[in-house]
Structure 1
């Protein structure tokens, strides 16, 4: 299990490089786009949907069905810790107080921060870029780093908690300690940096539904935390969708905060909420008022990851998120 997972991660890196070589085209059907970790911003001002994800490129659409892209929208500093050509994973676009923010994971493959159980850990961390338009360019702000330089972190997302303060919620990678984490860190009011240290929300092993085999073939909880996204139901309940594995299948589950704040405690649902091999989801409201979930499908084709964005209609009217059906624009 360990060796095969590392192999798949390296294949994922190859797929990322492919994504970054896309050139802009028009009238691309959603199901023709190869994209991991899709994130869709429904921008009311322009009545345009903007989609990004792993690779950091941008697609735009008026109807969710046909897209134009992919555009390069990030402008990072080649002299920073990211290096001249960082890999970009799981980019997200958030509008906040008049600006647009790009939350993404950047990896500098030239810098190795540790080796754990034979796995070389590269310099990888969640970071935030800013622009005054949804189409960028997105550029670094005040702080060079948001999270510790000696830890691999990924999949940062955004939430303003009940205390009115902005936070980044992110994953501590399983490669570091063998049990991935979900954590939060407070951000400065303008999101230009972080305040204090990260705090643990829950661990991968807390999930009752995620499973894997140990080196002796015995069942155990999965070690992977991936793709957090925060939401509230119409009754005010705070939830988080996030993704892990059931053996070799990529699946998304959900947890709910008992306190209604990021501090939890976080109660994991017993069963996943998506079909097998769909995950890394986020929620948005369409211009027609539908609550939709964007995820990617996951399969391995000829030794490479094949990931395509998909939409599901969801129901948030009760205390818990319900996936209604696949949504076809």
Structure 2
């Protein structure tokens, strides 16, 4: 497989279908300027032959045939993150004429707390931001001495949200490993996205979802609640919704919440799950024809995990699944 930069035209074309691409936490950018869909996913040495963890991208004109993979980011030396400890949940956002990569990095060698002080060993984990002039990278870290989120927190899956006042935020998941009942929180960003510009704000916790608690049974084990994969969107009538994922008795679940106030601070109400059956960490994108699509991964485990695409209907106050696009998965 080629692993050149995506803008390197000397890279020979290697065409794949989604069924062939190991994909976890898939993220798609519809780039109208070039009529190209970019599919970002994590690149780890065990599956790619890379010497260190990075982010891969595949390119397509029709969501069926994907060219690549190409490397758009690798964890550099001399930063807070360990280059072999993972690149989770990569996503790319256009903001102020540049492209920003949000990616969760790790350093398992930097222990934050250990039992008996805490119930589970905590290590440094959080989302960093890198910038490039193109969706094809290469992306360079903006902050090398730590994640954007507090360095004492175990966090993951940070995403960009720009509020009604054009103020940028990182919305992220506070890890169940640290807080047991995983939460969703938001931290304001500087206008250039180089660092945080204030303190975190709590949005809601995973156990707020009634469908999770309906399946719970008394047990001697800790009742942990996973918070994963937050993504924010507005419906055509202005309702603010958040995609997120957790677990039920059958595995990973793609669900959705809605802000009653229409603002980031909520309060947030939990809607019915969108996709079950060990599927989740999804995001929405629009096709060049203006249709909403949901992409997520199924099953959860790697290297079996693959990207799946669903047609989505946008209503006044939510998004709902129409059908799976099986024709794009085979």
TM over 0.5: yes
Tell me which residue corresponds to 1:34.
Answer: 22
* Count of residues paired in the alignment: 303
Tell me which residue corresponds to 1:223.
Answer: 225
Does 2:273 match 1:272? yes
Matches for 1:139-150 after TM superposition, within 5 Å: 139-142=140-143, 144-145=145-146, 146-150=148-152
Matches for 1:215-254 after TM superposition, within 5 Å: 216=219, 223-254=225-256
> In 1, are the aligned partners of 2:98 and 2:133 still within 8 Å (CA)?
yes
TM-superposed CA distance for 1:218, in Å, is: 8.8
Distance in 2 between the 1:40 and 1:83 partners? Answer: 26
TM-superposed CA distance for 1:27, in Å, is: 1.1
Deviations 1:125-181 (A, max 9, x none): 011100001111100115733111111110001111112101110000011121111
Find 2:38's aligned residue among 28, 42, 50.
50
Tell me which residue corresponds to 1:14.
Answer: none
Task: Provide the alpha-carbon RMSD of the alignment.
Answer: 2.3
Give the 3 Å change call, closer, same or farther, for CA 272–219 of structure 1 in structure 2. Answer: farther
Unaligned 5+ runs, structure 1? 1-19
TM-superposed CA distance for 1:317, in Å, is: 3.1
> In 1, are the aligned partners of 2:228 and 2:281 still within 8 Å (CA)?
yes
Distance in 1 between the 2:169 and 2:211 partners? Answer: 27
Tell me which residue corresponds to 1:5.
Answer: none
Unaligned 5+ runs, structure 2? 4-10, 44-54
Tell me which residue corresponds to 2:7.
Answer: none
Tell me which residue corresponds to 1:259.
Answer: 261
TM-superposed CA distance for 1:223, in Å, is: 0.9
> In 2, are the aligned partners of 1:78 and 1:85 still within 8 Å (CA)?
no
Give the 3 Å change call, closer, same or farther, for CA 287–137 of structure 1 in structure 2. Answer: same
Deviations 1:23-53 (A, max 9, x none): 9861100122111110000111121111112
Find 2:304's aligned residue among 303, 306, 310.
306
Counting strand residues as a fraction of each chain, which structure ranks higher?
Answer: 1
Tell me which residue corresponds to 2:100.
Answer: 101
Distance in 1 between the 2:112 and 2:221 partners? Answer: 31
Distance in 2 between the 1:157 and 1:37 partners? Answer: 12
Find 1:158's aligned residue among 140, 157, 160.
160
Find 2:173's aligned residue among 152, 171, 174.
171
Distance in 1 between the 2:195 and 2:221 partners? Answer: 43
Distance in 2 between the 1:138 and 1:99 partners? Answer: 11
Matches for 1:9-88 after TM superposition, within 5 Å: 26-55=14-43, 56-88=55-87
Distance in 1 between the 2:178 and 2:30 partners? Answer: 35
Deviations 1:222-261 (A, max 9, x none): 5110000101111111100100000251001111001111
Distance in 2 between the 1:185 and 1:34 partners? Answer: 31
Distance in 1 between the 2:218 and 2:66 partners? Answer: 44
Matches for 1:288-327 after TM superposition, within 5 Å: 288-298=289-299, 306-327=304-325
SS at match of 2:121: strand
Distance in 1 between the 2:300 and 2:152 partners? Answer: 32
Tell me which residue corresponds to 1:17.
Answer: none
Runs (4 or more) in structure 1 with deviation over 4 Å come to 211-215, 217-220
TM-superposed CA distance for 1:86, in Å, is: 4.2
> In 1, are the aligned partners of 2:299 and 2:305 still within 8 Å (CA)?
yes
Give the 3 Å change call, closer, same or farther, for CA 139–86 of structure 1 in structure 2. Answer: farther
> In 1, are the aligned partners of 2:129 and 2:143 still within 8 Å (CA)?
no
